[in-house]
A and B are shown apart, each in its own frame.
Chain A
């Protein structure tokens, strides 16, 4: 066997003076870091991914985990990652897998954008006193409203009454512009999904199934679930399409634009196989393109076939990764009968992606939202289709900025997982998540109580919703509608002219 050459990334130490040998860490660590030997706990640091489960669970606070950086000779170009990746590939000859979001030190544009606030002349609004309208409708809006006048007799008098002639397409009604992103059952555990489902129901919003089908246990929450149709068509049948509140076609994903999904056979357990409708233990491959989509017309065909199969009762979204020609694609999507375009930025998380894709492919979501919104306006299509943004949204301010840049609503993925306890350790693809989130192992899944999980996720959404109301008030606005695409409320700090131009915002001081 070729040896690894890669030293441990973290150093795990158990303080024998504090440790009471309860052996809890030996059970908690799904990676097998800790073992009892005689009257002490021995830790194999090389297996540690800093998921912190043991630290959080140790009753004596006896465990310390540190980055093991000292063992590498420092070099500005050949950083630790670059070298470790080469050792791994020289050993295996394989594509490197990774989890979670882009780990490169690229600029986070959200952090270079600041929000404006009102002062004396246009006073701010107190959200505790004044109603703040966060309700958002996702879906097609008519270009104009047409009315017809019908004569009716009321109390013997003939009265002309106006009646709406325009047919309004079905829309999703969101009480808050925050939804939970598509993460598949398979990548995530059933308890993680149940936590999300209960939370979105409570908060009057929606979650996505991802491409793994809809487990029966989620049926009671189906009115708050957006079902996904990916190239693998896993779990897709008439019942699935009819169950959810809307359908999303996944073309691309922020963490891995241009490639498909792949759930390895060993993770296709009995339950996963039943939901995806494939045999146990066989690979679940979603190839990069949809086999029936080779042009924007083909995409329109799929949108329409889904609408036809659901009798035009469900909004259909199309999700693409943020790439440089996203605006042109969005125009195509807008003319295809789709109801919303979902743009997923390159900081979006994933359960598993080739590392080279996660870290190098795609463009920042901030730029993509602004460019798509701008282009759709120029084409006169913006009011006909909704924009949902996702990929690296970390706080209420990010949501607010995304909307001011032009989104109608956002999807959060990683943030919702962090609410469940996720440590962003990036090892989801191993299926051993010690927090019971990205795993199918019953003993690990059990660690996540869906009631507690739902409480935490609902709390997060509610907290952000409060914050958004406060931010709206400070901006002197009382509805989210007035914030959408309102880039005048944003200012750039430390951005160059071109960046400001793409974002469509002014520099602070202007």
Chain B
């Protein structure tokens, strides 16, 4: 069996998630699981380890979608609750609507694409190690504290509405508070006073553009955006926000012996 459909109507999250595990156990070659009528069930895809598996969700999944996930792709036709991609290891989460607070919390690898907006503290404490570089691409806007304590990875804010039109100047505050690794790319201009402590505006170079281009292209592909929108996004003015140092609090503590 290549594809299985589960009707999640009135199902408790434990039952639903157990069902997913059961299907995976019984069908090692399965490529796709479709979940219909999802309404707030949490922890979907938690800790799932299977590369090449796609979970399509119709409805609104609950919090911690794809937490600790390693490999699969989750596509949400709707909004997502808080913390999709929490401490995710690898894989892809694609959200057609918007998502809640702490989207991509502590993400360690893989990619999260959100077509709409994300809530407060998104991308918080994302971290990178060697070839594991997590990526969060936000179609609309992010609430305050984007990339707080960010320790690695890439956050891209495209700042467009459903039709691909510009949303105007980003208003988020305290961007990158405590950031000590990775980078946040925002399409448009950002004032210095929108940044949190430890964050800095750095020059956006050709190298940066090369780095984010493939993710913008992938975003456009997932959400079927026309060529002209894609080109506009790539050729826009970008602001790069990166840490002042790898050791933001190095000078906070006395070096003296007691």
Residues of A within 8 A of B (CB): 4, 6, 31, 47, 49, 84, 88-89, 91-92, 94-98, 231-233, 236-238, 241, 262, 264-265, 273-274, 277-279, 281-283, 285, 287, 291-292, 301, 304-305, 308-311, 354-355, 426-427, 430
Contacts and interface: CB of A to CB of B under 8 A. Distances in A.
B254 interface: yes
B258 A308 contact: no
Given A96-B258, A291-B121, 10 more contacts: A88-B254, A97-B253, A232-B125, A262-B249, A278-B129, A283-B151, A285-B180, A292-B102, A309-B68, A430-B257
A3 to B, nearest CB: 12
A311 B105 contact: no
Contacts of A89: 254
A301 B152 CA distance: 25
A92 to B, nearest CB: 5
Contact of B127 (A84, A274, A277): A277
A94 B252 contact: yes
Given A91-B256, A305-B43, A278 B152 contact: yes
Given A47-B257, A96-B258, A273-B129, A283 B83 contact: no
A214 B212 CA distance: 33
A307 to B, nearest CB: 9
B68 A88 contact: no
Given A4-B256, A237-B70, A308-B46, A277 B108 contact: yes
B121 A95 contact: no
B17 interface: yes
Nearest to B21: A311
A439 to B, nearest CB: 15
Contact of A238 (B13, B17, B89): B89
7 contacts: A96-B258, A97-B254, A233-B125, A236-B87, A301-B42, A305-B67, A308-B46
Contacts of B258: 49, 84, 88, 96-98, 355, 426-427
Interface residues of chain B: helix, strand, loop or mixed (majority): loop
Nearest to B89: A237
B248 interface: yes
Contacts of A88: 254, 256, 258
A282 B86 contact: no
A277 B246 contact: no
Contacts of B148: 291
A49 B47 contact: no
Interface residues of B, number: 51
A355 B152 CA distance: 30
A279 B70 contact: no
Interface of B: 13-14, 17, 21, 42-43, 46-47, 49, 63-64, 67-70, 82-83, 86-87, 89, 102, 105-106, 108, 121, 124-125, 127-129, 132, 148-149, 151-152, 178, 180-181, 246-258
B19 to A, nearest CB: 13
Contacts of B17: 308
A238 B128 contact: no
Nearest to A6: B256
Nearest to B258: A98
B106 to A, nearest CB: 4
Contact of B151 (A282, A292, A308): A282
B246 A94 contact: no
A202 B256 CA distance: 40
A96 B124 contact: no
A277 to B, nearest CB: 4
A430 B17 CA distance: 46
Contact of A94 (B87, B124, B125, B251): B251
Contacts of A6: 256
Contacts of B247: 264-265, 282-283
A265 B246 contact: yes
A241 B70 CA distance: 13
Contacts of B254: 88-89, 92, 94-97
A305 B129 contact: no
Contact of B87 (A233, A308, A426): A233
Contacts of B132: 277
A279 B128 contact: yes
B86 A305 contact: yes
Given A49-B257, A236-B87, A285-B178, A291 B151 contact: no
Nearest to A91: B256
B132 to A, nearest CB: 7
Nearest to A47: B257
